[in-house]
Amino acid sequence: MSDWSDDAARDLMSLGGRLAMLTRGEGSWVWDADENRYLDFLGGIAVNCLGHAHPVFVDAVSRQAATLSHVSNYFASPAQLEIAARLKRLAGTGEQGRVYLANSGAEANETAIKLSRLHGARFAETEGSARTTILVVEGAFHGRTMGTLSLTPKAAYRDPFQPAVPDVVTVERSVESLEAAFASHAVAAMIVEPIQGEAGVVELPAGFLARARELATENDALLILDEVQTGSGRTGEWFAFQREGITPDAVTVAKSIGAGFPLGALITFGAASDLFYPGTHNSTFGGNPLASAVANAVLGHIESAHLLENVTARGAQLRDAVTSLPLVDAMSGAGLLIGIHLTAPVAADVRAAAHERGLIVNAPTADVIRIAPAYTIGDEEVDEFVSRFSAALAAVAETLQAQNATTPTEASA
């Protein structure tokens, strides 16, 4: 068999290194082409909430594929109607809520941008022009499409593709900056992640989201929450905003909603549900019967198996176990979206050391390791994680200690 890395270099776009050729998975374990086994504590970046090859997932795909996998958006399907009603119930929208089904988090957030434009257009008659300003928070990540990239204030991601969508204003992570932005701009919407996963599992300051809700209401702007990473139970609640005791005007979800099957959604509340009208948006594959059926099965199993309780319990167990390990400085996140903050900018080294020891994690920033394992993990997986992660940390700590012990004279020589 040819070297898979040669094949990848020859046939795939050069968009980033690939660590291994994974060929199969079961539960929280995956195997590569050489039959090396890895404990997956990244979960496809917060996607594989039921692990790999879960019977509920496999059965849902098989059953629906045998009946109806795709119809155009000229038609509805039972699975589509069921997932829309389920998402309204889980989000607590009430009867007035509505759901748009897409194929990814980026698509759901693109839809949110268009929602903000429709809302802003309502002010043209009373204010003389439409409101177009969208507020985002420093460190935000909302996607890689041109629209969502414009909401992502990271120069390395955005600058190669300038000019971006205009009228996006970045707010610092403080209530004072939030208040100043609303005071100085005619805001159409604010789009914000309750926990910023790609920034290093960064939590917003206490009271930030509550104040954003107040200011959006006072200024007749939309508050749109990007829960692509935090939604579908990842934090121990169905949505992270439910932990804050607020109600947004819209929320986007993806990742864990389909446990590995591509699906995204925009869920609206109240008057925001009336902004879209026929012709303003749609998707060929959005809400197809196969994706909808899988999401229904996944979310239904999370409910019936009470997995949100396990998310909360295992998250606390992992935090307790990791806090005292070498190089660990602090913890952030909620449920099973956890940021492990290190005492030195060696996250890439820790990730590599973990990989060598059969553990999959990632390093979103120089000093943070992110884990987002399956909701189904138990004592065995937690113990294995702690053992392998401890070994990875110890190896990096030993290297750091050796480097620090080198005298300036020795280093110059």
| 132-152 pLDDT tens trace | 999 999 999 999 999 999 999
293 and 343: one domain?
Answer: no
In a domain, 260, yes or no: yes
- Our answer to whether residue 114 is catalytic in this structure is no
**Residues contacting residue 340 through CB under 8 Å, at least 6 positions apart:** 322, 328, 331, 368, 369, 370, 371
In a domain, 413, yes or no: no
Q: Of 257, 284, 304, which one is at a domain's C-terminal end?
A: 304
The count of domains in the chain is 2
Cα angle for residues 118, 115, 206 (degrees, 5° grid): 125
314 and 337: one domain?
Answer: yes
293 and 329: one domain?
Answer: no
What are the pLDDT digits (tens) for 338-362?
Answer: 999 999 999 999 999 999 999 999 9
In a domain, 411, yes or no: no
Residue 222 has pLDDT above 70, yes or no: yes
252 and 391: one domain?
Answer: no
Residue 410 has pLDDT above 50, yes or no: no
The Cα 206–Cα 199 span in angstroms is 18
294 and 355: one domain?
Answer: no
Question: What is the three-class DSSP state of 141?
Answer: coil
In a domain, 11, yes or no: no
Q: Of 247, 278, 304, which one is at a domain's C-terminal end?
A: 304
177 and 92: one domain?
Answer: yes
The sign of the dihedral angle between the CA atoms of 127, 129, 134, 135 is negative
In a domain, 52, yes or no: no
Residue 408 has pLDDT above 80, yes or no: no
- Our answer to whether residue 255 is catalytic in this structure is yes
Residue 119 has pLDDT above 80, yes or no: yes
Question: What is the three-class DSSP state of 235?
Answer: coil
Q: What is the pLDDT of residue 412?
A: 47
41 and 85: one domain?
Answer: no
312 and 195: one domain?
Answer: no
In a domain, 1, yes or no: no
64 and 209: one domain?
Answer: yes
- 290, 64 contact by CB (below 8 A): yes
What CATH number does the domain containing 394 carry? 3.90.1150.10
Residue 411 has pLDDT above 60, yes or no: no
Residue 40 is inside which H or E element, if any?
strand 37-40
Half-sphere exposure of 338 (CA within 13 A, CB side): 29
Residue 223 has pLDDT above 60, yes or no: yes
Q: What is the pLDDT of residue 405?
A: 87
For residue 300, what are the domain limits?
58-304
> To the nearest whole number, what is the mean pLDDT of the chain?
95
- Span 266-293, average pLDDT: 97
In a domain, 6, yes or no: no
Catalytic option among 226, 249, 349, 367: 226
What are the pLDDT digits (tens) for 298-350?
Answer: 999 999 999 999 999 999 999 999 999 999 999 999 999 999 999 999 999 99
Cα angle for residues 111, 114, 117 (degrees, 5° grid): 155
What CATH number does the domain containing 283 carry? 3.40.640.10
In a domain, 291, yes or no: yes
34 and 155: one domain?
Answer: no
310 and 285: one domain?
Answer: no
Q: What is the pLDDT of residue 142?
A: 97
What are the pLDDT digits (tens) for 148-178?
Answer: 999 999 999 999 999 999 999 999 999 999 9
The CA-based dihedral angle spanning residues 106, 108, 114, 115, taken in that order and rounded to the nearest 10 degrees = -150
The Cα 221–Cα 366 span in angstroms is 35
234 and 348: one domain?
Answer: no
Q: Of 251, 276, 304, which one is at a domain's C-terminal end?
A: 304
What are the pLDDT digits (tens) for 68-95?
Answer: 999 999 999 999 999 999 999 999 999 9
- Span 372-387, average pLDDT: 98
Q: What is the pLDDT of residue 16?
A: 75
The Cα 244–Cα 332 span in angstroms is 16
Catalytic option among 40, 41, 182, 255: 255
Q: What is the pLDDT of residue 413?
A: 42
- 374, 48 contact by CB (below 8 A): yes
- In our burial notation (b when 16+ CB lie closer than 10 A, e otherwise), range 185-199 reads bbbbbbbbbbbbbbb
338: β partners: 333, 371
Q: What is the pLDDT of residue 2?
A: 52
Catalytic option among 141, 239, 269, 276: 141
- Our answer to whether residue 141 is catalytic in this structure is yes
Q: What is the pLDDT of residue 1?
A: 41
Q: What is the pLDDT of residue 18?
A: 81
Instruction: Please report, as a single letter, which amino acid is at residue 221.
Output: A
Cis ω for the linkage preceding 194 (within 30 of 0): no
